[in-house]
């Protein structure tokens, strides 16, 4: 062998050794890498397939009325709850070899890599359904090599721990279909107004085309582009033997009917109410050591849809064409459950809830709680006070206060508590506070869970301490419940995503805030605002509503320079209405000032239509007597202003309003006492 041949042989052997070494090293490196990836996957465990889901709201009858979501709207559904057409269409367009590969389509990856190298970009993704699910669940949408590597790792873990159907289910429940809809169920409801299980072939193909570019292929944004892509997908489904030529042609000819407008309308059911529900649910779940942001909750609410519709209609029918705002809330007397709530005229323009978030001066609507304190401190409905124009001094004589009545007039002399509450006399209220003292009033406000002030200012008798309509209506609801404490609530039950009940409403133990006797006496006096017999220098405050009343109501209105209130109840339902301007603008137009009462009576009459009238039942210890309004004495035919008034038995008057009535027995007896002849008296009697 020549020297040259020997050298060539040695070089060949050396090259073979190097090649073998490098090959073995590469194989070993790949094996070690694969083993490392496998070990990493085993140590890291199965990545979760769960995502934040929409929480669903139900009304008191179990009907769906809305939902709540964080950043994305989605409803998780099982694979067998999705139309087979949509499953096939998705696989056909997104990953035709999905059931053949193990998470990576290497031919597509190689093709995409060459394209990316040529364009020096990441124009081609080559992501399989598994890789897309990994991105949807765990990663951002940034087009970087780092994200691609992370995506691959997650895809490997998904394929390791889940089967193909589980991964496909996860993908279909997380992919973006545009307009804030994530997952097939949310998208199907939004675009077509139906569940994903009911989608036709044509609808499925159209829906499957959206994820490639939700803003481009949404049928709402560009119907032509959307349907062109639909035809492409139907062609792919035919090529891949999912459908026949005839099925494709029928689907292409099918008319697509979008129903997103219906969805938009449906989602607006009681939006202010649902905001309150969400806030209450958050606190309930916090008390159960659960985080509401997990989502997937099914929250059964107290909403009565008939009451809600009546509330919305009453506001729509009676509000003037101005910026005047409104709030209305109704509560069940027996339970405290909120049956309807409207926090403003237009939720889309302003989500600020004027029922729960606005704190305003309640004006005279606070007076029933002042008079509740008075009844505990020696007053009765027949307690008379001089209500002429008065200047009050306070702060040890350093300050004065001169209250006015709404019409600027004053009574000539004395007036009873029953009449004062009916016409809302302000002098009577301030004198009452002066007589009973500040502490009893503060104590009463605290018992009814209302705001109070520690300052001794006589104006608080006229409702200058701010409160919310929600809290004030709840206080009236306690009054309606014979003085038994009521706590407003909007939630009946909460289920988690697994169907487990984590909270169920239970009626709390009742606490007697004021006696049943005082609660009834106050209630009876509040029916007086509709009775013209009480009219004096000013009419009874609710007398204008009397022609429209078909049921018995107890109520009280309140007025400030920028607020109008009316709150009232039957034995079954309590409702409160507020009107005013968000910026506290002065109410000066009569149309604005009249709205609250019209809204209230419309609502109360609507929800009670066709129902028998309910009356307030007097408890033991209370007696009804017909009295003369002017004097508070027992009425006779000689006293024209008479009314049945309920008082405690010890407060029943014994003196009659007139001792000169011609046929009054007591008057005759007094007269006959002047004669000494017994026989003569017997003859006349």
Q: Write out the catalytic residue numbers.
A: 94, 364
Q: How far apart are CA 680 and CA 676, in angstroms?
A: 8
* Whether the Cβ atoms of residue 475 and residue 518 lie closer than 8 Å to each other: no
Tokens 């209230």, residue located: 600
Q: How many CB atoms lie within 10 A of CB 457?
A: 15
Q: Where are the alpha helices (DSSP H) in 240-334?
A: 245-253, 260-266, 271-287, 305-318
For 431, residues 6+ apart whose C-beta sits below 8 A from its C-beta are: 385, 386, 387, 390
Distance CA 438, CA 394 (A): 12
On whether the CB atoms of residues 155 and 134 are closer than 8 A, the answer is: yes
CA–CA separation, 255 and 605 (whole Å): 46
Task: Name the one residue in this structure whose structure tokens are 């009670």.
Answer: 608
Tokens of 285: 């779940």
Contact between 93 and 209 under an 8 Å Cβ cutoff? The reply is yes
Beta bridge partners of 648: 622
The answer to whether residues 245 and 238 touch, using CB atoms and an 8 Å cutoff, is yes
Q: How many helices (H) and strands (E) in the chain?
A: 23, 16
Answer yes or no: are the C-beta atoms of 333 and 480 closer than 8 Å: yes
Closest CA to 563 of 340, 311, 349, 327: 327
CA–CA gap between residue 520 and residue 516 (Å, rounded): 6
In sequence order, the β-bridge partners of residue 567 are 556, 576
Contact 450, 444 (CB under 8 A): no
- Strand ranges inside 45-124, DSSP E: 55-58, 64-68
First to last CA, the chain: 168
């Amino acid at each position: 062998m020549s020297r040259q041949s020997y050298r060539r042989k040695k070089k060949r052997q050396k090259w073979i050794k190097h090649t073998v070494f490098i090959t073995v090293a590469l194989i070993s490196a790949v094996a070690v890498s694969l083993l490392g990836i496998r070990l990493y996957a085993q140590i890291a465990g199965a990545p979760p397939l769960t995502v934040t889901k929409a929480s669903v709201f139900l009304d008191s009858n179990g009907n769906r009325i809305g939902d709540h979501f964080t950043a994305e709207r989605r409803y998780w559904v099982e694979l067998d709850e999705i139309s087979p057409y949509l499953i096939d269409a998705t696989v056909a367009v997104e990953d035709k070899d999905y059931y053949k590969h193990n998470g990576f389509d290497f031919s597509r990856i190689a093709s995409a890599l060459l394209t990316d190298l040529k364009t020096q970009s990441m124009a081609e993704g080559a992501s399989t359904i598994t890789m897309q699910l990994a991105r949807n669940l765990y990663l951002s949408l940034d087009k970087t090599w780092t994200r691609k590597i992370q995506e691959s790792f997650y895809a490997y873990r998904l394929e390791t721990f889940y089967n193909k159907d589980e991964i496909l289910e996860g993908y279909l429940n997380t992919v973006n279909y545009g307009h804030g809809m994530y997952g097939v169920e949310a998208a199907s409801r939004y675009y077509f107004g139906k569940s994903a299980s009911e989608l036709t072939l044509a609808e499925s193909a159209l829906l499957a085309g959206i994820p490639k570019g939700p803003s481009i292929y949404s049928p709402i944004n560009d119907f032509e582009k959307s349907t062109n892509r639909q035809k492409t997908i139907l062609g792919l489904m035919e090529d891949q033997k999912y459908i026949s030529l005839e099925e494709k042609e029928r689907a292409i000819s099918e008319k697509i009917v979008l129903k997103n407008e219906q969805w938009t309308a449906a989602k607006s059911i009681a939006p202010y109410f649902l905001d309150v529900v969400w806030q209450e649910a958050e606190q309930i779940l916090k008390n159960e050591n659960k985080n509401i942001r997990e989502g997937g909750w099914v929250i059964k609410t107290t909403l009565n849809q008939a009451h809600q519709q009546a509330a919305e209609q009453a506001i729509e029918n009676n509000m003037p064409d101005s910026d005047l705002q409104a709030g209305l809330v109704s509560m069940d007397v027996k339970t405290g459950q909120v049956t309807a709530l409207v926090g403003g005229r237009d939720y889309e323009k302003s989500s600020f809830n004027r029922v729960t978030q606005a704190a305003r001066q309640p004006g005279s609507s606070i007076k029933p709680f002042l008079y509740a304190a008075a009844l505990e401190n020696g007053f009765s409905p027949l307690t008379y006070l001089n209500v002429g124009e008065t200047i009050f001094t306070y702060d040890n004589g350093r300050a004065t206060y001169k209250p006015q009545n709404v019409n600027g007039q004053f009574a000539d002399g004395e007036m009873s508590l029953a009449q004062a509450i009916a016409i809302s006399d302000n002098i009577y209220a301030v004198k009452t506070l002066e007589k009973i003292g500040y502490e009893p009033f503060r104590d009463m406000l605290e018992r009814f869970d209302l705001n109070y002030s520690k300052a001794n200012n006589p104006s608080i008798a006229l409702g200058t301490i701010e409160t919310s309509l929600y809290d004030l209506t709840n206080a009236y609801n306690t009054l309606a419940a014979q003085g038994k404490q009521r706590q407003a609530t909007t939630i009946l039950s909460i289920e988690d995503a697994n169907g487990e009940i984590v909270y169920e409403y239970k009626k709390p133990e009742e606490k007697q805030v004021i006696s049943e006797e005082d609660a009834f006496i106050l209630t009876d006096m509040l029916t007086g605002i509709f009775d013209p017999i009480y009219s004096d220098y000013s009419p009874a405050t609710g007398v204008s509503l009397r022609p429209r009343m078909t049921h018995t109501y107890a109520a009280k209105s309140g007025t400030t320079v920028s607020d109008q209130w009316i709150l009232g109840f039957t034995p079954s339902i309590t409702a409160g209405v507020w009107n005013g301007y968000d910026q506290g603008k002065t109410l000066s137009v009569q149309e604005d000032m009249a709205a609250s009462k019209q809204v209230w009576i419309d609502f109360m009459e609507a929800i009670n239509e066709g129902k028998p009238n309910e009356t307030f039942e007097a408890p033991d210890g209370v007696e009804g007597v017909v009295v003369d309004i002017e004097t508070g004495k027992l009425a006779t035919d000689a006293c024209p202003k008479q009314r049945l008034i309920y008082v405690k038995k010890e407060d029943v008057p014994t003196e009659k309003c007139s001792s000169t009535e011609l046929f009054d027995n007591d008057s005759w007896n007094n007269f006959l006492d002047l004669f000494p002849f017994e026989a003569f008296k017997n003859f006349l009697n």
